[in-house]
Amino acid sequence: MGKFFRIILLVSMALAVSACKKDTDTNNDPKTGRVIFLIDHKVDGNLLEENQLIYTNAAGNQYMVGGLKYFISEITFYKQDGTTLLIHQWKDLFYVDEEIPSTKKILFYDPLPAGKYDSISFIFGITVEKNKSFMFINPPEVNMFWPEVLGGGYHYMMLDGKWKDTTGTLQPFNFHLGIGQLYHGTGFNTDSIYAFVQNYFRVSLPGSSFLLNNNDTLSFNLSMNLESWFETPSVFDFNQWGGAIMQNQTAMEMTRENGKDVFSILPLNQ
């Protein structure tokens, strides 16, 4: 009987140790949550209506939008403790298209550690390290290619539409942002290109602090406010710059600077 009770005691102790270990393991599980971006496009606070001549920019140009597509990448979260978290390196290129609803919802590949976050930022476009020709082979992304002779890779943005010129005639515009070129002389002959300019830029989102609890899924409304492309800090006039900017680095530099305040963000469920 004594030996039997000793066996029972040893089994009980082993079970207790195992239970404690499981509790410890559970307590050591990383606490994480998920973040979702729901993207929309607005003009003067209202959702974008395509193919409607109802907008007027800061230069007084009446215009309509016929298409909008772009890339954002390297979405970065800044924790209150100073930690910086970059979304998974090669799953961080996000294509957004006004006409493809599925592209306007981003559920991030990486779960994020729970905690307090001060802010969010991202790259508008694609960095020089990742903007490689032929990395996309299927539409719609493949249709964003940037001509090899102009620097290769892909457009950062294609914003297309029409504006009414000084004679009242509708003129097409292709407000396209990508790699710029520097030319010898005053023309845009591709044989005279002597350097390329990377026009991607980082967007810092004011008011993007948030608290992420364990197992939370937080949704954010990320809005592109299109009027800002044409007004801050510089007024863009289609009658001055014409309908195409992709070989005009001066115009693309203005566009790059104007784009830094184009986006706003709002937590939806915090």
Per-residue model confidence (pLDDT) at position 59: 98
Best CA proximity match to 229, nearest among 188, 194, 192, 260: 260
Measured CA to CA in angstroms, residue 116 lies from 110, 167, 212 at distances of: 17, 55, 6
Q: Which residues contact 70 (CB under 8 A, 6 or more apart)?
A: 95, 96, 124, 125, 155, 156, 157, 158, 159
Kindly report, residue by residue over 203-256, the tens digit of the pLDDT: 999 999 999 999 999 999 999 999 999 999 999 999 999 999 999 999 999 999
pTM of the model: 0.87
Is residue 38 a contact partner of residue 139, using CB atoms and an 8 Å limit? no
Q: Got the DSSP string for 130-183? A: T--TTS--STTGGGGB--GGGT-SB-SEEEEEEEE-TTS-EEEEEEEE--EEEE
- Give CA–CA dist 146/206, Å, rounded: 31
The terminus-to-terminus CA distance of the chain in angstroms comes to: 62
Measured distance CA(119)–CA(201) in Å, rounded = 17
Range in 98-102, 240-244, 264-268 with the lowest mean pLDDT: 264-268
- pLDDT tens-digit map of 180-209: 999 998 888 899 999 999 999 999 999 999
Q: What is the pLDDT of the chain when averaged over all its residues? A: 90
Q: Would you state the pLDDT for residue 268?
A: 86
- DSSP β-bridge partners for residue 40: 223
Q: CA dist 170 to 63, 165, 229, Å?
A: 9, 6, 20
Strand partners, 95: 71
pLDDT tens column, 46-91: 999 999 999 999 999 999 999 999 999 999 999 988 889 887 755 7
Per residue in 8-18, pLDDT tens?
A: 444 454 444 44
The predicted pLDDT at position 269 comes to 77
Query: Cα–Cα distance between 21 and 24 in angstroms, integer?
Result: 5
